[in-house]
Amino acid sequence: SELFGHEKGAFTGAEHAKTGLIETAEGGTILLDEIAELQPHLQVKLLRFLQEGEIKRVGGTETRHPNVRVLAATNKNLFDLVEAGRFRSDLYYRLNVLQLTLPPLRERGKDVMLIANHFLQRINKAFQKEVQEFSPEALQALANYPWPGNVRELENAVERACALAVGSKISIFDLPSALQNPKLDRSVPTATKVSLTLKDMERQHILSVLDQYDWNYEEASKALAIGRTTLWRKLREYGVEQKP
């Protein structure tokens, strides 16, 4: 009923008639995201709309003729799904008037940096931090990583790095471990997510970097892109005893 709407009393809980998304888009464009996940009975109704230009609300008898342009998107190969019998071939060919294929992130070259900087500015504002840039090592890690999760994975990586960054620059140690070590086995399940504040995450990150440099404050502060005075202040703020 989300796509095509329903009439009052069409099913339990349908106390009022509802206009579907297709009717709502009258005179405009509707984007059907993840079209490959559309259930078979809805594929039939969508095909009828595309062929005949008409729909019926669930529980209704009136035929409606909305004037709507349809765009569909998917991250799956629809032709393979047709071959496997999981997507209607007639709907596939009806949709396939003009096909645009976006290459995966690993094939986008310098676009990775542009997209990462876009996410940095947006997430930076949301976290109310002043992270301005990526270190050269971090940029190299972003460029070398294959990004199996595409843009969503990149956005999550930048969000994590922005939250962990101390100072104005994201270091390679702020990035997920898979980016620091591309050969890391990604099949190992991650730990259960725990709700942490930004301060908790920052504290853990600082201690992790200090451990990596055997508590050499000069080297750790360089890796964190902050001064030693700032590092000491952070340790006092988090109640961490400084090691000689």
Tell me: the pLDDT tens digits for 145-173?
999 889 999 999 999 888 888 888 898 88
pLDDT of the residue at 243: 63
pLDDT of the residue at 65: 92
pLDDT in tens, 191-210: 434 455 666 777 778 887 88
- In b/e form, how buried is each residue of 173-194, taking b as 16+ CB within 10 angstroms? bbbbebbbeeeeeeeeeeeeee
Do β-strands 133-134 and 169-170 pair in parallel, antiparallel, or remain unpaired? parallel
pLDDT of the residue at 3: 85
Give the burial class of 105: count Cβ atoms within 10 A of its Cβ; 0-12 exposed, 13-18 middle, 19 or more buried.
Answer: buried
Contact status, residue 205 vs residue 166, Cβ threshold 8 Å: yes
Q: Go through the domains of the chain in sequence order and give each one's CATH number.
A: 21-95 (3.40.50.300), 105-237 (1.10.8.60)
Spatial separation of the C-alpha atoms in residues 64 and 180, rounded to whole Å:
56
Q: Calculate the average pLDDT of the chain.
A: 84
Q: Give φ, ψ of 237 to 5 degrees.
A: -60, -35
**pLDDT above 60: residue 188:** no
pLDDT in tens, 71-109: 999 988 999 999 999 999 999 999 999 888 888 888 888
Which of 13-17, 40-44, 188-192 is the least confident region? 188-192
- Regarding pTM above 0.75, the answer is no
pLDDT of the residue at 197: 64
The pLDDT-based confidence of 186 (bands split at 50, 70, 90) is very low
**pLDDT above 50: residue 124:** yes
Q: Please give the helix or strand (H or E) that residue 69 lies within, else none.
A: strand 69-72
Query: Amino acid letter at 165?
Result: A
Q: Which residues contact 196 (CB under 8 A, 6 or more apart)?
A: 204
HSE-CB at 201 with a 13 A cutoff on CA atoms is: 19
State the residue for tokens 């730990």: 191
Q: Identify the residue with better confidence: 16 or 128.
A: 16
**pLDDT above 50: residue 211:** yes
pLDDT of the residue at 182: 60
Other C-beta atoms lying within 10 Å of the C-beta of residue 62: 8
**Structure tokens that stand for 64 in this block:** 């409606």
What separation in angstroms does the CA of 158 have from each of 42, 96, 139, 239? 37, 35, 11, 28
Which of 17-26, 114-123, 190-199 is the least confident region? 190-199
Contact status, residue 116 vs residue 158, Cβ threshold 8 Å: yes
